[in-house]
Amino acid sequence: MCRQLDVPRSSYYRWRDATDTPTTIRHRELTDQVKTMFHSSDGIFGHRMVHTKLAADGVAVSVGTVATIMTENGWAAKRMRAFKRTTIPSDPDKVFKDLIFRDFTAETPGTRMVGDITYLRTGEGWLYLVTVIDLCTRMVVGWAMADHMRASLCVGALEMARDKGYLQPNAIFHSD
């Protein structure tokens, strides 16, 4: 086999008789400890947090070693999604009736509209987007964006739908 692979026989015997070095043994032990700590966090911890937890358990290891072990094994932290509370319960006496009774269809354009606010994280902060959708055509008939979530944002989207001629008299707007 050595002749076929063009490898000296001495190299084969050196490989066969080799024992693990203390560094290799230590690296294998650290890999097991990093794996245990990483998986115990459901994959949320990055190398810095894994290092902090291992240090708290008395394991002497550097941040760089933990990072190297995690990279070698393809372990990367899951990013936590940003949570922003946008809906604040109001006074129950001020809650409006559901005029469309959860029937999100319409026979005539411009008579039944729905809307929602979504928020997007940008490099400059949060951007709020309000949309008004016609239930008959499923078309976005009004929208507005701003860096705040005040009532004027929703009013702007509804005014756009009105000014473009998409709203009929006595139209119903439904939103949560």
Q: Report the pLDDT value the prediction gives residue 175, as an integer from 0 to 100.
A: 85
* Residue-level pLDDT at 2: 82
Choose among 25, 48, 53: nearest CA to 37: 53
**Domains of the chain by start residue, with CATH:** 2-72 (no CATH), 92-175 (3.30.420.10)
Task: Report how far residue 173's alpha carbon sits from residue 18's, in angstroms, rounded to the nearest whole number.
Answer: 77
pLDDT of residue 139: 94
Q: Where are the alpha helices (DSSP H) in the chain?
A: 2-5, 9-17, 22-40, 47-56, 63-72, 151-163
The per-residue pLDDT for 155 is 92
The sheet with strand 125-134 has its strands ordered as 140-146, 125-134, 112-122, 172-175
Q: Is the pLDDT of residue 159 over 70?
A: yes
- Note the pTM of the prediction, 2 decimals: 0.49
Res. 145: pLDDT tops 70: yes
Does 34 have pLDDT greater than 80? yes
Q: Assess whether pLDDT exceeds 90 at residue 69.
A: yes
Average pLDDT over residues 72-80: 87
User: Which helix (H) or strand (E) element contains residue 133?
Assistant: strand 125-134
- For residue 109, name the pLDDT band (cuts at 50, 70, 90): very high
Please, which pLDDT band fits residue 176 given cuts at 50, 70 and 90?
confident
Query: How far is CA 120 from its chain centroid?
Result: 12
* pLDDT confidence of residue 89: 61
Query: Is the pLDDT assigned to residue 119 strictly greater than 70?
Result: yes
* Rounded average pLDDT over 145-166: 92
Looking at residue 88, its pLDDT comes to 64
Is pLDDT above 70 for 84?
no
- pLDDT tens by residue, 94-106: 677 888 888 888 9
Mean pLDDT computed over every residue of the chain: 89
d(CA 61, CA 52): 10
The percent of the chain in helix, strand and coil, each rounded to the nearest 5, is: 40, 20, 45
Whole-angstrom distance, CA of residue 100 vs CA of residue 59: 62
Bridge partners, 119 (sequence order): 128
Check residue 129 and give its pLDDT: 95
- Asked whether residue 170 carries a pLDDT value surpassing 70, the answer given is yes
In whole angstroms, give the CA distance from residue 145 to residue 130: 6
The Cα diameter of the chain in Å comes to 94
Q: What angle do CA 128, 132, 135 make, to 5 degrees?
A: 145
